[in-house]
């Protein structure tokens, strides 16, 4: 069996045996069977917790703030597969889009639900790629060699990241935790830029690395982030072999919502059936009082009482959207909720009449593009069941996303098309455009950011959020448990969201006097 500490050194708990067990994750006392548990948020974390709690005989009551265009509640949160109205078979992943095979929890659930993730994600360098920097264009065939200037930056990056990663990976299992702690101490308070600079990268190297990374996308947006967060994903292989989810990432939360399974107390049922096919609306207020149940008030002004509540909305959505009594959380947890950094991120998608690039020699047409121009990253998608193509014209983070905020949808489209016309020397796209969809997650109510990535100095805040649902935390007594990707050391990934949901579900079981199966 894989040593779990090799996968998630900050949280060396192996979730797969827990969720693989046909008996479910644990047992609750007979008298608690059918007890209602409030779950705030119908994203990956909330619905994973709901599914596991339902299996062992608890009744998850789902609250969800987000809405579809027809005003019905939208399931999925930041696992958001958008279907273009003109061709619902043409999909745009507005949030999560790549799954690393190293993420075993999400892969386990996708296997369980029969979701196909067998295809490599069409990432730069995996597919034919055009790099365009400082007005110069380089074409790289799939898997081809990097052009000279980028090769130097890639080499410098490898030299920086490989020795500590190898040192940790080759440590004996009994030494791993200590080894990782050494890396935490070394990197947690240092910014990415600072470490690169100390490593001897020149201004020119830094500019290139910032614009193009190692050909897979520029790192400049991430320069202020804690190097530990960058090191973690590079060292643990989360950037390696990423998979595309056929039919859309949104199938993960939808499967938790819709799939029936045998449950203690309820028999064969689904989370959707238990919620009469529709979550309740946004939660506006939560009130805890010692020795009493937790009062949860929703947007309609209706209040219900629960023995336990799992809060999965982003920490910013919590701060901005839900009124909670101050003593529901410790000061450390409040500080973390208020401070932890979420990155900004925008995506501009179009549906094209055809996936016109598919049957042309890649040197002569549009391909995956990485650039220092304002679009930053362009990705191409085609589908087996429709002729339409989907192009993510622009995927941006942080400042690169913020600089686009002032433009309206038409202007964003025109700007993106103009940049790509400059790069390719002619307009390959305009006459193909059928529909447009844009999103900036920091501007979305109920999210207020794309995903958590810590700044230097926030490791302790992160630890406070992570430990909040653990048995010894002061909050464990009042029964309000924080989950969602920002409560995880793997924040920014569906894997982290699922693990946080499972941690909170285990906390609920313990709170009700139940037990967690350890084998």
44 contacts 254 by C-beta, under 8 angstroms = no
DSSP per-residue codes, 189-226: TSBHHHHHHHTT--HHHHHHHHHHTTTT---GGGTTSB
Question: What span, in angstroms and rounded, lies between the C-alpha atoms of 42 and 312?
Answer: 8
Please say which residue, 223 or 238, places its beta carbon nearer to ligand FAD. 238
Q: Which is nearer to ligand FAD, 40 or 274 (CB)?
A: 40
- Pairwise CA distance, residues 443 & 465, whole Å: 24
Candidate list 4, 9, 26, 46; residue touching ligand FAD; CB under 6 A = 46
* Least gap, CB of 382 to ligand FAD (angstroms): 19
- Shortest reach from residue 286's CB to ligand FAD, in Å: 9
Nearer of residues 140 and 348 to ligand FAD, judged by Cβ: 348
- CA torsion 459-463-465-469 (nearest 10°) is 170
Least distance from ligand FAD to the Cβ atom of residue 483, Å: 7
Q: Which residues, listed in sequence order, are joined to residue 287 by a DSSP beta bridge?
A: 295
Could you say whether residue 283 binds ligand FAD (CB under 6 A)? Answer: yes
Give the residue, chosen from 218, 373, 493, 511, that forms a contact with ligand FAD under the rule CB under 6 A.
493
Question: Considering the rule CB under 6 A, would residue 50 count as an interface residue with ligand FAD?
Answer: no
| Angle made by CA atoms 245, 246, 249, in degrees to the nearest 5 | 45
Q: How many residues does the chain have?
A: 519
> Per rule CB under 6 A, is residue 482 in the interface with ligand FAD?
no
Paired with 119 in beta bridges are: 244
Q: How far is the CB of 368 from ligand FAD (least distance, A)?
A: 15
**Token pair in block for residue 344:** 């900004």
Cα 266 to Cα 55: distance, rounded to the nearest angstrom: 9
Least distance (Å) from ligand FAD to the CB of residue 485? 3
> What does the block give as tokens for 459?
């490791």
Q: Is 389 in the site for ligand FAD (CB under 6 A)?
A: no
Residues touching ligand FAD, count (CB under 6 A) = 40
Least CB distance to ligand FAD at residue 197 (A): 28
Residue 115 engages ligand FAD in binding (rule: CB under 6 A): no
Binding status of residue 497 toward ligand FAD by CB under 6 A: yes
Q: How far apart are the C-alpha atoms of 210 and 222, rounded to whole Å?
A: 9
Distance in Å, CB of 106 to ligand FAD, minimum: 7
Q: Is 451 helix (H, G, I), strand (E, B) or coil?
A: strand
CB distance 294 to 307 below 8 Å: yes
How many Å separate Cα 186 from the centre of its chain? 26
Of 269 and 284, the one with the shorter C-beta distance to ligand FAD is 284
Q: Under rule CB under 6 A, which residues in 446-465 are in contact with ligand FAD?
A: 446-447, 450-451
CA angle, 396 then 109 then 500, to 5°: 65
The DSSP result for 251-313, as a single string, is HHHHHHHH--EEETTTEEE-HHHHTTTS-B--EEEEE--TTSPEEEEETTS-EEEES-EEE-S
Q: How far is the CB of 9 from ligand FAD (least distance, A)?
A: 18
Site for ligand FAD in 298-357 (CB under 6 A): 312-314, 317, 321-322, 345
Q: Which stretch binds ligand FAD (CB under 6 A): 38-46, 143-151, 171-179, 419-427?
A: 38-46
**Residue 122 interacts with ligand FAD (CB under 6 A): yes or no:** no
Applying CB under 6 A, the residues found at the interface with ligand FAD are 40-46, 63-66, 77-79, 95-99, 282-283, 312-314, 317, 321-322, 345, 441, 446-447, 450-451, 484-485, 492-494, 496-497
């Amino acid at each position: 069996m894989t040593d779990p500490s090799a996968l998630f050194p900050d949280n060396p708990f192996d979730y797969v045996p827990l969720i693989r067990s046909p008996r479910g994750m644990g047992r609750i006392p007979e008298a608690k069977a059918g007890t209602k548990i409030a779950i705030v948020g119908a994203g990956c974390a909330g619905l994973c917790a709901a599914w596991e709690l339902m299996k062992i005989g608890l009744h998850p009551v789902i609250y969800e703030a987000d809405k579809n265009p027809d005003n019905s509640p939208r399931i999925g949160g930041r696992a958001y597969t958008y279907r273009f109205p003109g061709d619902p078979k043409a999909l745009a992943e507005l949030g999560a889009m790549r799954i690393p095979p190293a993420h075993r929890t999400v892969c386990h659930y996708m296997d369980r639900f029969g979701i196909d993730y067998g295809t490599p994600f069409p990432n730069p360098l995996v597919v034919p790629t055009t790099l365009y920097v400082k007005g110069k264009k380089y074409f790289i065939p799939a898997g081809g060699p990097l052009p000279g200037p980028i090769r130097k930056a890639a080499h410098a990056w490898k030299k920086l990241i490989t020795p500590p990663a190898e040192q940790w990976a080759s440590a004996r299992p009994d030494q791993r935790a200590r080894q990782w702690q050494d890396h935490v101490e070394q990197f947690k308070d240092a910014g990415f830029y600072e470490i690169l600079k100390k490593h001897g990268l020149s201004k020119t190297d830094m500019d290139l690395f910032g614009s193009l990374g190692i050909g897979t996308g520029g790192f400049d947006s991430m320069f202020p982030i804690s190097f530990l967060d960058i090191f973690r994903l590079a060292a643990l292989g989360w950037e390696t072999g990423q998979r595309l989810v056929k039919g859309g990432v949104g199938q993960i939360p939808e499967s938790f919502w819709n799939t029936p399974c045998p449950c203690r107390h309820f028999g064969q049922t689904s989370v959707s059936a238990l919620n009469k096919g529709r979550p309740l609306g946004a939660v506006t207020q939560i009130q805890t009082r010692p020795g009493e149940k937790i009062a949860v008030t929703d947007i309609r002004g209706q209040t219900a009482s629960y023995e336990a509540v799992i809060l999965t909305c982003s920490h910013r959505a919590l701060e901005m959207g839900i009124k909670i009594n101050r003593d529901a959380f410790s000061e450390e947890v409040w500080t973390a909720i208020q401070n932890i950094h979420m990155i900004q991120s925008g995506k501009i998608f179009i549906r094209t009449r055809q996936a016109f690039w598919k049957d042309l020699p890649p040197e002569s047409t549009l391909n995956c593009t990485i650039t220092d121009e304002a679009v930053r990253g362009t990705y191409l998608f085609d589908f087996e069941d429709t002729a339409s193509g989907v192009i993510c014209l622009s995927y941006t983070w942080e400042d690169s996303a913020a600089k686009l905020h002032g433009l309206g949808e038409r202007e964003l489209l025109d700007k993106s098309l103009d940049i790509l016309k400059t790069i390719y020397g002619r307009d390959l796209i305009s006459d193909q455009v059928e529909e447009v969809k844009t999103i900036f997650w920091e501007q979305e109510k109920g999210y207020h950011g794309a995903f958590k990535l810590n700044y230097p100095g926030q490791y302790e805040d992160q630890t406070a959020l992570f430990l909040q649902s653990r048995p010894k935390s002061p909050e464990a007594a009042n029964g309000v448990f924080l989950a969602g990707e920002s409560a995880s050391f793997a924040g920014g990934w569906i894997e982290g969201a699922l693990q946080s949901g499972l941690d909170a579900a285990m906390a609920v079981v313990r709170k009700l006097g139940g037990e967690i199966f350890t084998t």
